[in-house]
Amino acid sequence: MLTSTAGTGGKSMMLEIRGLRKTFFPDTPNEVRALQGIDLDLSEGCFAAIIGTNGSGKSTLLNAVAGSFLPDQGTVRIDGVEITRWEEYRRAQYVGRVFQNPFAGTAAGMTIAENIGLAMRRGLSRGLRPALPRQVRDAMADRVRTLGMGLENRLDNPIGTLSGGQRQALTLLMATWLKPRLLLLDEHTAALDPKSAAQVAALTREIIEREHLTALMVTHSMQQAVQLPNRIIMMHQGRIVRQYSESEMARVRVPELLAAFDRIRRREQLDPAVSDILGRQYL
């Protein structure tokens, strides 16, 4: 079985996944075995990227951790607490999340300050007070200023009036406002123009390093995969088939990742049962 402790360096485990399986539309012509026995550990402070071809199970794994559905088998633990059967809202006390769509995760008609106010109560009872105290607004402005976008002077603007890049940067700030035990990033720069994507990617690394967060990022960008995280997890057909530890990350480059994908495809063409083999060993 593939070991999933690469790069832990003896640190305590923040995320522990054991035997996770999920099949959609079972026993039908549309059956999809999205997760096929995932074992994965993330140590505290690890920033890992999940890469893989379309349909490899990347976003499904993220959704399983977030609680978007219940797995068929397996367990998920965050900070030693088993949350496998917890509903999504209960996991909010541990998990922050940024989606691909810049307009997801925020209320477009509410102001920047009101959206941040909601983020400050993540995992608690919902609702805003009639007004935000001056000291709270000042604290908001100070945090928003770190984005370098001048939005600290626009706290009363509806968040829906912002550009996609500005809104995604704010969403990232809101998701990390209370320093979640685990940050999930689901292709959070994919819908942005190249300049905005690069800006949000840089902010991502800066915030994760500054707040010492544990993060799991799904990305199709091989460039981001080699530049941002300190670990890479490669998936294929619902399995983890290769991991690059923190010590290996100093040497890994985009061509190496692309070559690994090519080896997967070639082996599948030679042997239809290769997916079983890939699930048990590194490439």
Report which secondary-structure segment, H or E, holds 164.
helix 164-175
Dmax over Cα atoms in the chain, in whole Å? 66
| pLDDT tier for residue 2 given thresholds of 50, 70 and 90 | very low
Asked whether residue 66 is domain-assigned, the answer is yes
**Residue owning tokens 């390093």:** 209
CB 222 within 8 A of CB 41: no
User: What does the block give as tokens for 39?
Assistant: 């074992």
**CB neighbours of residue 179 within 10 Å:** 11
Reference 38, options 3, 89, 83, 87; nearest CA is 3
What is the pTM assigned to this prediction?
A: 0.87
Residue 5 has pLDDT above 60, yes or no: no
d(CA 20, CA 40): 9
In 3D, which of 230, 182, 165 has the Cα closest to residue 67? Answer: 182
In a domain, 139, yes or no: no
- Phi and psi at residue 192, in whole multiples of 5°? -100, 155
Residue 237, in any domain of the structure: yes
Whether residue 192 lies inside any domain: the answer is yes
> Does some domain include residue 246?
yes
- 143 lies in some domain: no
Read off the pLDDT of each residue in 4-33 and give the average, rounded to a whole number.
82
What CATH number has the domain bearing residue 51? 3.40.50.300
Q: Which residues of 238-277 are buried (b: 16+ CB within 10 A; e: fewer)?
A: bbbbbbbebeebeebeeeebeebbeebeeeeeeeeebbee
pLDDT tens track for 86-104 = 999 999 889 999 999 988 8
**Cα–Cα nearest to 170, from 198, 193, 145:** 145
In a domain, residue 166? The reply is no
In this structure, is residue 114 part of a structural domain?
A: no
Number of separate domains in the chain: 1
Q: What is the mean pLDDT of the chain?
A: 88
Q: What is the pLDDT of residue 247?
A: 92
Q: 239 and 37 in contact (C-beta within 8 Å)?
A: yes
Highest mean pLDDT (candidates 9-13, 50-54, 61-65, 272-276): 61-65
Q: Which domain holds residue 184?
A: 13-94+180-278
Grouping H, G, I as helix, E, B as strand and the rest as coil, residue 160 is: helix
